Amino acid sequence: MGAGLITWLHYRKHSLRVNNRPLFFLLGGLRFVALFLAGALLTGPQLRFRQNEIRKPLLIVLSDRSASIAAAGDTAEIIRFLKDRLPAISDNSFGENTLRIVPFGCGKVSEAFSAPCTDLETALQETEERFSGQAIAAVVVLSDGIVNRGMHPLYAPWPFRAPLYTMGWGDTLPGRDLLLRNASAPRMAFMGNSISIEADVSGVGFEGSSVPVTLSENGKPIAVSTLILSGNPPYARVRFNVETNDPGMRHFSIQVPVQAKERHAANNRTEVYVDVVDERQKVALVFHSPHPDIAAIREAFASAPAYTLEVMDAEQFLRSDRGAYDLIIWHQLPSADRRIREVMTQLLGTGTNMLYIIGAQTRTDDGLRGLDPAFGLQAAPGRTTEALAAWNPGFTAFEAAPGWADALAQWPPLTVPFGNYTAGAGLEVLAWQRIGSVNTQNPLIAFSSRGQQKTGWICGEGIWRWRMRQYLRDKNHDLFDAFFMRLVQYSAIRMNRKLFTATPTRRLYASGEPVVFEAMLLDKTRNPKQGRQIELSTRDAEGRTQRWNMSPGKMVYRLDAGVLPPGDYTYGAVVKESGEKDNGSFSVSADAPEQAELKADWTLLRQWASRHGGLFAPWAEREGLFRQIKERNKAGDIIQSDITVRSLIDLPWYLGTILLLLCTEWVLRRRAGGY
């Protein structure tokens, strides 16, 4: 309306030398349209542009690149089919550029058939993430069915809406073969203990045979055991007992000799690694008088070989080497007739960790006062009450294992001193006292820290009843023992005083697993230092050295050294600016899961495909399988729309149109003699 009004006001008294009414209305029309288009910009209109693209569904082929594929036949045949024949089949059946070939194994997978293990679960997850949002006609898995890492395919979730088709490679018939598998040994052992190393020996074609099995360490035989294989299939289990007298990563090999006409020799040997550490911590349990709690604590320590426990009364403790302990557990001490407050104060000054178990005999007035600034208790001697445990959900010093909170709520009450409790700053309360049905703010189990020193409090006696109740419920003491030893572990923990530490994320890496290091550099206030140059080097058993620079992060420095050959390694890290150093060792297992079993499992592939709406075919019938995939394909094309929104003022042609209308009006007016 505004554009029409302005045009009318402008032209109502306008005259032309030539009385040409059509030209007069043309000029007015040009002026009106130009003003209207210009006025439209004031409202900020936007235009929506839609661009449609037709996408055909994809054909995804997952190709197993594990070592068992290469051991079962000529992989050149697979390469030729995937690179030469399959693209043509896909283009003719599903459309051009619809084929996607995804190699899988474990770790970083190359085109070579050399992956040390097969992980179908991870392969499916990564493929789903890679092609998320795209239509998929079918997923085809080319494999021998041997899976040795990740969730079993029949139980793993299927992430695609498309059906699954499988192609079987390899030999399903068992051949004459001796096989060592399921080797087991503790990952960590403490020096001075005996460990058991076991393995299964099976032998297809060796029924009733006598087989010598050799245990070696670093290539040197240390024990031999002779087994008779019996049963169907023939089987026996070997066990070796080894003393752990030397600390460090111990590398053991179990081997059976290669027999005549044996199908495969690589699975006659398996490796195990045991990390032997000498970090046993000494704990003293000092008691006021004999008590059932003492036996319960002693039994709990029997389940934790990382600790050596010495039990004694106060008089024996005063005659011992008091500074030799990492943790001292005081049971109902100090008491009225066992005044060892002065000794406690001296030990606190040396940084010794303490765990107090308070009971009716504990002298709480002057005996405990001042031992821990974060905890206080004022109670009349001999006055006690019964208190249940109520787990504190705000406790974050360490994570609770499943069942701990429920068990604490069900365990019998402890006999606790009746008085005034003080929970000061720095006290971490694990459980509160519950009197009857009322949750109080009095701590039952709590911890505090002063620098490198830990102090723990169990404000009641009678924990032996907790252990007995747990046995009545579960017919074992495992949950109580694990709970109490976690309290001991947290109380006795040795704080790392080093300002620079560099460690591998694991002491033992599986074959084909990337080796990763992390380092932390702190200043004297124990705050992280950033932006420093840290060089890390590794050295194998033959003296070969590799060097890297670690990448800095917000809190830690990190290095992915990639996949290293099997063997034992040492490493060293140095901060170039300050010269601070750290070192250690790690190992890469020589055990290759792909060599343990070479019999193809087509039954698995057939069941897997059937479960997800597809079909199975052996490798020899691959062409027919893809014809059936085409016939059964129900996935249609997808129209993907790309919508963009733009303002009129951002369109050059719109502004150009307004300018063209105004210029045309001006030229016509000038030619017609208008003014």
pLDDT digits (tens, 9 = 90+) for 137-171: 899 999 988 888 888 889 888 999 899 999 999 88
Query: Identity (one letter) of the amino acid at 323?
Result: G
pLDDT at 526 over 70: no
Would you say 224 and 256 are in contact if contact means Cβ atoms under 8 Å apart?
no
**Can you give the pLDDT at residue 105?**
84
* Residues ≥6 apart with Cβ < 8 Å to 108: 514, 562, 563
Q: State the DSSP code for 667.
A: H
**Can you give the pLDDT at residue 488?**
92
- Residue with the bigger pLDDT between 174 and 384: it is 384
CA distance 38 to 241: 94
Helix (H) or strand (E) run with residue 204 in it: strand 194-204
pLDDT at 86 over 60: yes
Query: E-strand spans in 490-610?
Result: 500-504, 508-509, 515-521, 534-540, 545-549, 551-552, 557-562, 567-575, 581-588
- Kindly state the average pLDDT of the residues 76-96: 87
**Can you give the pLDDT at residue 517?**
94
pLDDT per residue as tens digits for the range 275-334: 887 667 889 999 999 999 999 999 999 888 778 899 999 999 988 888 889 899 999 998
**Coil/strand/helix, residue 405:** helix
Backbone angle region of 336, left / alpha / beta, with phi > 0 → left and psi within -120 to 50 → alpha: alpha
Instruction: Look at 38-47, 110-119, 373-382, 512-521 and tell me which has the smallest mean pLDDT.
Output: 38-47
* Residues ≥6 apart with Cβ < 8 Å to 78: 63, 69, 113, 142, 169
**Can you give the pLDDT at residue 672?**
67
CA distance 609 to 159: 14
CA distance 12 to 14: 6
CATH fold for the domain made of 500-588: Immunoglobulin-like (2.60.40)
CATH fold for the domain made of 281-492: Rossmann fold (3.40.50)
Q: What are the residue boundaries of the structural domains of the chain, listed by start?
A: 2-51+643-672, 57-172+599-636, 177-277, 281-492, 500-588
The band of 47, judged by pLDDT with boundaries at 50, 70 and 90, is: low
CA distance 579 to 205: 61
- Residue with the bigger pLDDT between 641 and 528: it is 528
Would you say 40 and 566 are in contact if contact means Cβ atoms under 8 Å apart?
no
- Kindly state the average pLDDT of the residues 548-552: 89
Would you say 669 and 27 are in contact if contact means Cβ atoms under 8 Å apart?
yes
> Count of H helices and E strands in the chain?
16, 33
* CATH architecture entry for 57-172+599-636: 3-Layer(aba) Sandwich (3.40)
- Residue with the bigger pLDDT between 213 and 280: it is 213
Do 177-277 and 281-492 share a fold? no
CB neighbours of residue 475 within 10 Å: 8
Query: Between the CA of residue 117 and those of 102, 150, 354, 605, 618, what are the distances in Å?
Result: 16, 10, 48, 17, 22
**Most confident option among 245-254, 338-347, 462-471, 643-652:** 462-471
SS3 string, 44-94, reads: CCEEEEEEEEEECCEEEEEEECEHHHHHCCCHHHHHHHHHHHHHHHHHHHH
**Can you give the pLDDT at residue 18?**
45
Q: 């990740």: which residue's tokens?
A: 150
CATH of the structural domain 177-277, one choice from 2.60.40.10, 2.160.10.10, 3.50.50.60, 3.40.50.80? 2.60.40.10
pLDDT at 236 over 80: yes
CA distance 25 to 29: 6
User: Average per-residue pLDDT in the chain?
Assistant: 84
Q: Over pLDDT 90: what percentage of the chain?
A: 34
pLDDT per residue as tens digits for the range 393-443: 999 888 888 889 999 999 999 999 999 998 888 899 999 999 988 999 999
pLDDT per residue as tens digits for the range 403-414: 899 999 999 999
pLDDT per residue as tens digits for the range 448-472: 988 778 999 999 999 999 999 999 9
**Can you give the pLDDT at residue 641?**
54
CA distance 187 to 528: 32
Cross-strand partners of 574: 535, 581
pLDDT at 546 over 90: yes
CA distance 368 to 455: 12
pTM of the predicted protein model:
0.50
**Most confident option among 17-26, 104-113, 206-215, 568-577:** 568-577
Would you say 654 and 648 are in contact if contact means Cβ atoms under 8 Å apart?
yes
**Coil/strand/helix, residue 318:** helix
**Coil/strand/helix, residue 225:** strand
